[in-house]
């Protein structure tokens, strides 16, 4: 199937010091959508195996191995998850040295008598003729204190920094004020070692009343994380309420404002906090209003998509499209709505080692789809 896309009308974005009008982006001539795997149950994240094939998390707690032909088998050894609402088995990341150590990391919502919170699981992928793919030696290496009852706002994404440390995002569990409490993991970005400990150089390591794992605070429900391929900096995307979805570049020790400042409104229509800015709180580099409910994201590198090189792709759940953001450094200067005719919630977006862009659709019959440039 071939899809041809046209640019959107201009929207408004937030720059560092002023508002700017975002022009329509130049469209790729055509894209063919190839279904790699279907029949997935609310897939959340995908990782690419060096030998080919994929590991895909499903929110209800199943980790799937998908081979190159689309065949699927469940991977044993996954931790028990709290699968309720937005909670379940969430992100997956391969260790930077996966080729030699076979290690993977999973984020998941973990239940307890104090409620459910976001945790990090580390295990080694093993294979055998009898068992197929399985996780061995697994352990929970970090458990957030963002525990609460209910199934809202767990986050969560993982991104390995160039120095080998691991960024992990955590939602505020639907309890706004917790994002401003530095003793609470809720509503924050964390920076961890590969063993789940606070990473050296974190901004609050020696500060009383602060969690040593915390990198930045004031986040609502960060649903994506990616490392910029040129600067090496972390970029995140988070859900607003009614409007106010944000793209941020979280810096050490900074406060990103939720729920004191926001470009959205409460679902009731009421004002959030004190307005859109406050001294000592950071501005997003871009926001959406109305909300698109952004999810996974990926930077486009290489020459597979010549019109998109250097762009940022962001999946939209509520918006049911793939947003393409054209960048000038840390500014969004143009954007385009892709895959709107697909009419699917886009949960994850990744660029594979083959240079192609892959998306996961969020449904009880979800798909892993490869985007292939067409000739038309």
Do 174 and 155 contact (CB within 8 A), yes or no?
no
Average pLDDT over residues 244-267: 97
Residue 212: per-residue pLDDT: 98
Q: In the structure, what pLDDT confidence band is assigned to residue 129 with cuts at 50, 70 and 90?
A: confident
Cα–Cα nearest to 332, from 283, 290, 285 = 285
Higher pLDDT, 3 or 97: 97
Residue 15: per-residue pLDDT: 34
What are the strands of the beta sheet with 89-94, ordered from one edge? 89-94, 103-110, 117-128, 132-143
Residue 61: per-residue pLDDT: 98
Strand partners, 271: 265
Average pLDDT score over the chain:
92
Q: In the structure, what pLDDT confidence band is assigned to residue 10 with cuts at 50, 70 and 90?
A: very low
Model confidence at 290: pLDDT above 70: yes
Instruction: For domain 2-373, give the fold.
Output: Neuraminidase (2.120.10)
User: In sequence order, what DSSP letters do the residues of 222-260 get, joined into one string?
Assistant: EEEEEE-TTT--EEEEEE-BBB-EEEE---TT-B--TTT
Residue 91: per-residue pLDDT: 98
User: In sequence order, what DSSP letters do the residues of 138-174 get, joined into one string?
Assistant: EEEEEE-S--BSSS------EEE-TTS-EEEEE--TT
Average pLDDT over residues 169-183: 97
Element (H, E) at 371: strand 366-373
pLDDT tens for residues 187-239? 999 999 999 999 999 999 999 999 999 999 999 999 999 999 999 999 999 99
In whole angstroms, how large is the CA radius of gyration of the chain? 20
Share of the chain above pLDDT 90, in %: 89
Residue 324: per-residue pLDDT: 98
Share of the chain above pLDDT 70, in %: 92
Residue 24: per-residue pLDDT: 58
Residue 160: per-residue pLDDT: 98
Residue 130: per-residue pLDDT: 74
Residue 341's φ and ψ, nearest 5 degrees, are -70, -20
Model confidence at 18: pLDDT above 50: no
Higher pLDDT, 37 or 12: 37
Q: Cα(17)–Cα(160) distance, rounded to whole angstroms?
A: 30
Model confidence at 23: pLDDT above 80: no
Which of the residue ranges 2-16, 84-98, 141-155 would you say has the lowest mean pLDDT?
2-16
Q: Which positions are annotated as active-site residues?
A: 153
- Helices and strands (H and E) in the chain: how many: 1, 27
State in Å, rounded, how far the first CA of the chain is from the last one: 12
Average pLDDT over residues 258-273: 95
Average pLDDT over residues 367-371: 98
Do 103 and 123 contact (CB within 8 A), yes or no?
yes
Q: What share of the chain is helix, strand, coil (3-state, %, to 5)?
A: 5, 45, 50
Average pLDDT over residues 100-114: 97
Which of the residue ranges 45-54, 130-139, 305-314, 354-363 would you say has the lowest mean pLDDT?
130-139
Q: How many CB atoms lie under 10 A from the CB of residue 97?
A: 11
Q: Cα(351)–Cα(300) distance, rounded to whole angstroms?
A: 7
Q: In the structure, what pLDDT confidence band is assigned to residue 20 with cuts at 50, 70 and 90?
A: very low
């Amino acid at each position: 199937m071939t899809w041809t896309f046209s640019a959107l009308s201009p929207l408004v974005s937030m720059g560092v010091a002023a508002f700017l009008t975002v022009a329509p982006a130049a469209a790729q001539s055509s894209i063919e959508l190839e279904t790699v795997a279907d029949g997935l149950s609310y897939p959340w994240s995908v990782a690419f195996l060096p030998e080919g094939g994929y590991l895909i998390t499903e929110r209800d707690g199943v980790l799937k191995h998908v081979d190159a032909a689309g065949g699927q088998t469940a991977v044993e050894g996954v931790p028990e998850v709290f699968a309720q609402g937005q909670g379940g088995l969430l992100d997956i990341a391969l260790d930077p040295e996966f080729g030699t150590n076979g290690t993977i990391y999973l984020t998941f919502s973990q239940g307890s008598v104090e409620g459910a919170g976001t945790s990090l699981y580390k295990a080694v992928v093993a294979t055998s003729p009898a068992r197929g793919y399985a996780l061995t030696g697994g352990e929970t290496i970090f458990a957030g204190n963002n525990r609460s009852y209910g199934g809202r706002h767990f986050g969560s994404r993982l991104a390995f920094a160039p120095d080998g440390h691991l960024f992990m995002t955590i939602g505020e569990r639907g309890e706004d004020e917790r994002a401003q409490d530095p003793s609470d993991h809720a509503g924050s970005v964390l920076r961890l070692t590969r063993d789940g400990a606070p990473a050296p150089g974190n901004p609050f390591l020696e500060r009383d009343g602060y969690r040593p794992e915390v990198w930045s605070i004031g986040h609502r429900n960060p649903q994506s994380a990616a490392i910029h391929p040129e600067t090496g900096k972390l970029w995140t995307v988070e859900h607003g309420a009614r409007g106010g979805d944000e793209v941020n570049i979280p810096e050490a020790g900074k406060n990103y404002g939720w729920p004191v400042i926001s470009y959205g409104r409460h679902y009731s229509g009421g004002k959030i906090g004190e307005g859109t800015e406050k001294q000592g709180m950071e501005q997003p580099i871009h926001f959406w209003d109305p909300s698109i409910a952004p999810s996974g994201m990926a930077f486009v590198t290489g020459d597979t998509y010549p019109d998109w090189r250097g762009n940022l792709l962001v999946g939209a759940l509520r918006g049911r499209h793939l947003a393409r953001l054209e960048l000038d450094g840390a500014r969004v200067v143009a954007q385009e709505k892709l895959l709107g005719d697909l009419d699917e919630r886009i949960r994850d977006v990744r660029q594979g080692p083959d240079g192609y862009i892959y998306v996961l659709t969020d449904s009880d019959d979800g798909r892993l789809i490869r985007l292939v440039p067409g000739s038309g």
